[in-house]
């Protein structure tokens, strides 16, 4: 059975990878016959889904998902007094 983006086993692997790494763009390259991921640090290519998981875990060592983005501290708006009538 050939591997292509329409092959059920490839589609199943892509669904799993996308659930496991939701903040990462993941696809299968029909011409390269490889699994790919686009991360903040660049492209990752792997011959199998397992190899891609391992590479992504090295890139994002905590729980296998993309790191939580750093958010600015929440700044409360200045308190406004009601206007007296």
**pLDDT value of position 48:** 92
In a domain, 25, yes or no: yes
In a domain, 29, yes or no: yes
In a domain, 31, yes or no: yes
In a domain, 78, yes or no: no
Q: What mean pLDDT, rounded, does the chain reach?
A: 78
In a domain, 2, yes or no: no
The DSSP letter of residue 12 is: H
Residues whose CB falls within 8 Å of the CB of residue 5, separated by 6 or more in sequence, listed in order: 11, 14, 27, 28, 30
Domain tally, the chain:
1
16-36 in b/e burial notation, b at 16+ Cβ within 10 A?
ebeebbeebebebeeeeebbe
Tell me the per-residue pLDDT of 36-69, one tens digit each, with 9 for 90 and over: 999 988 999 999 999 999 999 998 766 545 544 4
C-alpha span between 14 and 36 (Å, rounded): 10
In a domain, 19, yes or no: yes
Domain that holds residue 31: 8-59
In a domain, 1, yes or no: no
pTM comes to 0.66
């Amino acid at each position: 059975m050939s591997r292509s983006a329409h092959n059920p086993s490839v589609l199943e692997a892509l669904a799993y990878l996308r659930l496991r790494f939701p903040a990462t763009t993941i696809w299968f390259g029909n011409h390269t016959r490889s699994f790919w991921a686009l991360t903040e640090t660049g492209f990752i290519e792997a011959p199998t889904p397992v190899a891609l998981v391992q590479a992504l875990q090295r890139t994002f060592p905590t729980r296998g998902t993309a790191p939580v983005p750093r958010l600015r501290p929440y700044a409360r708006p200045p308190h406004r007094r009601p206007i007296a009538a």
